[in-house]
Amino acid sequence: MVGLPSNSSQNLQLAKQISSLQLPSLQILPLESSHLPGIMEIDRLCFGGWWNLAHYQWELDHPESHFLVLTIPEISNSEVSNSAMSKIAKINEIAEINEIAEISKAPEISEVFEASDPQANNLVIGVGGFWQILEEAHIHLFAIHPQYQGKGLGKFLLGQLLQLAKELGLERATLEVRESNHQALGLYQKFGFQEAGRRPNYYADNSEAGVILWLNRLQSCEFV
């Protein structure tokens, strides 16, 4: 595995993208062993337990496997400090005054608790990975935690994943997706992926076909 690019202009662009997602404490990191429990939970929620822990450990140890994870601070309800509780009470008071009806208008939890809070741990909310095979990136895992879907995180993570493939000098990217997953298909098509065929009965749980997508000329594409 390799780390994220350290180019200063890319770091600035990355900071701007994170700011636009309204998750100030969002981090994008290479996969580490401490992330595996969180990834297992996303696997369970999104795929019904597709891979086991041993498989993810193998991915972590394999030099041709590259993963990125999205994390935010997680607060343990049993250990919330009095000062944090005061912040929550203040937010509730403001919400009542302004009659906030939609959760999307409420402050993000990362705005209430600082990442340096001693009760804060990293919560994995997204994961993406690919195998490096010759000059190709074979994306074999991509998911956002269901509670954080619809916030633009998938687009952000996919852009970073493809940028990593580009930094590694790869020329093409490919993946398979369920033909009924129109949301995912729409996201991939926005990045320029095109259908190259279908694999009948590809998914064992319901014999659904898998749509094969390819993105060529990675080196001429801009992702961040």
Which residues are catalytic, by number?
A: 176, 188
- Residue whose pair of structure tokens reads 């972590």 in the numeric block: 60
Cβ atoms of 135 and 172 closer than 8 Å = yes
Cβ atoms of 28 and 11 closer than 8 Å = no
- Cα gap 66→161, rounded to integer Å: 9
Nearest in space to 134 (alpha carbons), one of 103, 100, 171, 98:
171
Nearest in space to 115 (alpha carbons), one of 160, 71, 70:
71
Sheet hosting strand 65-75, strand order edge to edge? 27-30, 65-75, 120-133, 136-144, 172-178, 208-215, 194-203
Cβ atoms of 218 and 162 closer than 8 Å = yes
